[in-house]
Amino acid sequence: MQVSRLRLVPFLAFATPAVAQVVAPPLLISDTTEDPIATIGADLNGDGRPDLVTISDLIEPGDAVTNLRPDELSWRENLGNASFGPKRIISTSIIDGHGLHAADLDGDGDVDLLTTSGVDNKVAWYENQQQGTFLPQAIIDRPNWPSEVDTADVDGDLDLDVLVGDVRLGLGWYENLGGGGFGPRRTILSNMCIISFAPADVDGDGDIDVVAGDFWLSNFGWSENLGGTFGPYQIIEPLLYSPVATRQADLDGDGDPDIVVASVGDGRISTYENLGGGSFGPRTVIHEQASWVWDTRAGDIDADGDLDIVTSAIALTYNENLGNGTFAPPVAVSHQVQNPLRVAFSDLDLDGDNDLVTTPFTYDENEIVWLENVALAGVSSCDALPNSTGLPGVLTARGSANAIRGDLVLQASQMIPFGFGYAIVSRDLGSSMPPGAAGILCLTGNVGRYNRVTEMLFGEMDELELDLESIPTNPPAAVLAGETWHFQAWYRDGQASNFTNSLSVGFH
């Protein structure tokens, strides 16, 4: 017998969108894990840093079942400073790895792992014994070609149950009985080809429903949680060509879960607004050329406070959320990452923004790459001198440089503990050292000061939300698209004063 399975083989002739400057060039974390199919971030050793967990899939179409190589579940410790430790094997008792999820399944405060694998038909979990050491694989069930795995409190008893999609059986769940035990499979949706699904409180009644798509019948819908049993499949979209990724996220900021679906049959990414009570608005296509799409995820990639959509297909792209659930056309996150498989958000460097980790489909098929988020607004345009702590004051910004949205926040750090200061702004750059100052004033011309009490910066670190309609120059001015404004922070340093670097923001 030979393995026959769906493997999306990329075709490189498709055009890719223009690139957006939201991530740094990719950092190769590993080229020693053979055929990684998914990598996620999870703090396995309890040190506060997300480590990287990877599942591999070594099967190729045509491989004989009697001669299959085992796959790997492994992890790498996040050592900080953009470095990771060597690969640590958790298990090789996997054949045809697919699903990977991290959650505290036994309620002991650390992160355990879940996997699914197709050829050996396993849903399994791995108990974390703290510090990233794991007990051997514990099999929850052997369904018929399981796909995606997730967790949610399905029965409302305050622990995490396990939900599993299946290419042949549909969708089911396993009750968490406590102490590492799980009940038998309970059917949610039957006789469907479920590759991806999303647990979410669709109808706002306080329990976890599910949204899922049927790959072969090319539709998707939802099923209501009736107290651990589920109602009939309610179709949201009757014709959606081969959905491969279904996600839930509050895209319009109204407090309920909207839906994002990637359909490989037509290469589209679509959103559906949750109208409440289990009703959804019409399909909105936000990406029409997601050729050979593998995955789509919602997260704030541009640091403006709303959820954007990142998609892995021929290219790794993102659609910026423009507010109220409307999206800009897709742009490439990086042209250096070709044919990414699955993608995950994780703040690997603990700088407060969402980095990306993915596993590109390459000829040697062994890469795990990290793309650091650098979407914080502005470019440092003038260096600061060290203050009495020995460190220079630092000014950064987060949010959008969109002049209309007006959601830019200045962030000052490495100033003086228990000190004070204020931000300054100008259209013009300069360089001078005022009398009594121990640092460089980088601004000149009509300099405005954010020196009202409510605008002051206090302590070693503080931030200021800017009103872009009233920049405190003389007279006050509104920021217009196409303008560049320069910001800096002045602060008291003992008997002298000092300045942070200046930050130049080009508004659009």
Give the tens place of pLDDT for each residue, 432-482.
999 999 999 999 999 999 999 999 999 999 999 999 999 999 999 999 988
Q: Which of the four pLDDT bands, split at 50, 70 and 90, describes residue 215?
A: very high
pLDDT at 21 over 70: no
| Mean pLDDT, the chain, whole residue set | 89
The angle formed by the CA atoms of residues 286, 287 and 291, to the nearest 5 degrees, is: 160
pLDDT at 330 over 90: yes
**Res 263: pLDDT:** 96
**Res 338: pLDDT:** 81
What CA–CA distance (Å, rounded) separates 497 from 424?
Answer: 14
The DSSP secondary structure of 180-238, one letter per residue, reads TEEEEEEEEEES---S-EEEE-TTSSSS-EEEEEETTTTEEEEE-BSSSSB---EEEES
Contact status, residue 173 vs residue 148, Cβ threshold 8 Å: no
**Res 381: pLDDT:** 86
Encode pLDDT of 380-413 as tens digits: 889 999 999 999 999 988 766 778 767 788 999 9
pLDDT at 291 over 90: no
**Res 67: pLDDT:** 55
Q: What are the structure tokens assigned to 319, written together?
A: 């659609």
Average pLDDT of the segment spanning 28-47: 88
**Res 3: pLDDT:** 33
The identity of residue 109, as a single letter, is: G
**Res 304: pLDDT:** 81
Q: Which residue has the higher pLDDT, 448 or 315?
A: 448
**Res 405: pLDDT:** 65
**Res 364: pLDDT:** 56
What CA–CA distance (Å, rounded) separates 440 from 401?
Answer: 25
**Res 105: pLDDT:** 97
Q: Which residues pair with 164 in a beta bridge?
A: 149, 172
Phi, psi of 67 (to 5 degrees): -135, 40
Provide the whole-model pTM.
0.74
Can you give the C-alpha Rg of the chain in angstroms? 25
